[in-house]
Structure 1
Amino acid sequence: MARLHDPWFLAAAGLAVLLLGLSKGGFVGIGALGTPLLALVISPVEAAAIMLPILIAQDVVGVWAFRRTWDRSILVIMLPGAALGVALAYLFASRVPEAAMQIALGGISILFAIRSLWMQRGGRVPAPANPPRWFGFAMGLASGITSQIAHAGQPPFQIYVLPRRLPRDLLVGTTAIFFAALNWIKVPAYLALGQFTRAHLLASLILMPIAIPSTLAGVWLVRRVNAERFYALIYWLMLLIGVKLVYDGI
């Protein structure tokens, strides 16, 4: 159960929501640190369940802003795979102990951090400019799995979509609508896992006021700080947290 009177929980949860808001405000990708950070003080499934209503609330702004600029073909290809990925991740979470979820979440965090640090240094993930439909389905599947476990579905999505070189607004709109739909797809899975408890929803509600101001802060900060150093700090922190989660799970 979420420990609403535990200062460590409140500190980790507040920072996790702050990172989600900064991510929505312009520091794309750093929101993936939120769930692993919160999983240091509560179980990974609880952490993801508390974050989900906040993500859904934040999605409303992006979907409304870009409701007329999105690529239907990408969603048709990727969302069925994402739904299957959510189902597979749910089956995994419902049948394994908490230690296994810690290892899975830690492993995803480590891979996300290593990939992000590598790409920050000029690395590239090879992918064709016009990838086949099966590849889009496979990346949707991977995005569904990582999103269900860690709310970290961006890398597989980007591997399929970025090589297509969509116009900026089309890319942002497609991303916003894909992840808004994916977050709603995850709701039945968390209901089936019994994670939308009164305590968890109360924690989400208490943390919700941080979401919008932190998003606005992200818009303000992204124009005023050295983004490269900020990202590097976040990804190294994610790497360390991932190692800690794997160690605890083992």
Structure 2
Amino acid sequence: MLDISLILLIGFMVGLAKAGIHGTTLLSVPLLALMFGGKASSGLMLPMLIMADVFAVHHYHRHANWQFLIKLFPAAVVGVLLGTWLGEKIDDALFVQIMAAIIFVSVALMIWLERNKTKVPDYTWFAVATGTLGGFTTMVGNLAGSVMAVYLLSMRLPKNVFIGTAAWFFLVINLFKVPFHVFVWETITWDSFKLNLMALPVIIAGVYTGIWLVRKISEQHYRWLVIIMTLVAAAALLPQ
């Protein structure tokens, strides 16, 4: 019963995150890992992420900036392949600590960019580095949200373009990850997918709750919400 309640809570949090309330997915990662283990939890969460991605894309698809997506996708594919290869060799605890450090650095960069009203030049190398790191971290731990937030915030995208671009990026990359979880890691099974289907109603509720909340938040306040939620999520990844 506790497992099912946790799945439903995480489903709602995933829906919120995909609708633009950034950071709630990162908060759910350590909860799921604590209950099911690192790699298993990654496979258990992936279908929930894809379900939420579909609804987020349906709502925000017109706002996506494909100029950035085209630069990110090839590198993200490389990152996913690296993550698949190295995933079994990385200790869960060490990976979480590394991710916490990366996220804290990301938050520091986001705050610096925000306080100085700075836009990072749209260098190809920056997109390649972000895409590779995003693909790797999303494959190994579904933790690429903060990596993408740094890139998209640094481009100073309006909130709807930020959400729409992220939604398309993660829908495509998460679908690309499915065969590796099914056939290589074997972390997605029919039994795990039945749990995902059970969470679908709360995922939908989370998405539309998030859409409603985002409409209430100003552009400037939204940027700071992303930063604060990312910081909270990083703190949740630290060892207890």
TM-score range, shorter chain: 0.7 to 0.9
- Within a 5 Å distance, the mapping from 1:81-92 to structure 2 comes to 81-92=75-86
1:173 correspondence with 2:164: yes
Aligned-pair identity in percent equals 24
2:60 corresponds, among 56, 66, 73, to 66
Point out the more displaced range, 81-90 or 69-78.
69-78
Q: CA RMSD in A?
A: 3.2
Gaps of 5+ in 1: 1-6, 245-250
Contact 1:22 1:214 in 2 (8 A): yes
TM-score (norm 1): 0.77
**Match for residue 209 of structure 1?**
201
**Match for residue 55 of structure 1?**
49
**Match for residue 4 of structure 1?**
none
- Within a 5 Å distance, the mapping from 1:154-193 to structure 2 comes to 154-191=145-182, 192-193=184-185
Point out the more displaced range, 191-200 or 81-90.
191-200
Counterpart CA distance in 2 for 1:10 and 1:42 is 12
Give the aligned length: 232
1:194 corresponds, among 186, 197, 200, to 186
Point out the more displaced range, 141-150 or 60-69.
60-69
2:235 corresponds, among 222, 239, 244, to 239
Q: Which has the higher helix share?
A: 2
Change (3 A) 1:37 1:113: farther
**Match for residue 135 of structure 1?**
126
Counterpart CA distance in 2 for 1:130 and 1:237 is 27
Change (3 A) 1:241 1:166: closer
Structure 1 counterpart of 2:16, one-letter code: L
Change (3 A) 1:214 1:85: same
**Match for residue 42 of structure 1?**
36
Structure 1 counterpart of 2:150, one-letter code: I
**Match for residue 33 of structure 1?**
27
- Within a 5 Å distance, the mapping from 1:78-157 to structure 2 comes to 78-96=72-90, 100-109=91-100, 111-112=102-103, 115-116=106-107, 118=108, 122-124=111-113, 129-157=120-148
Contact 2:79 2:136 in 1 (8 A): yes
- CA shift at 1:238, angstroms? 5.0
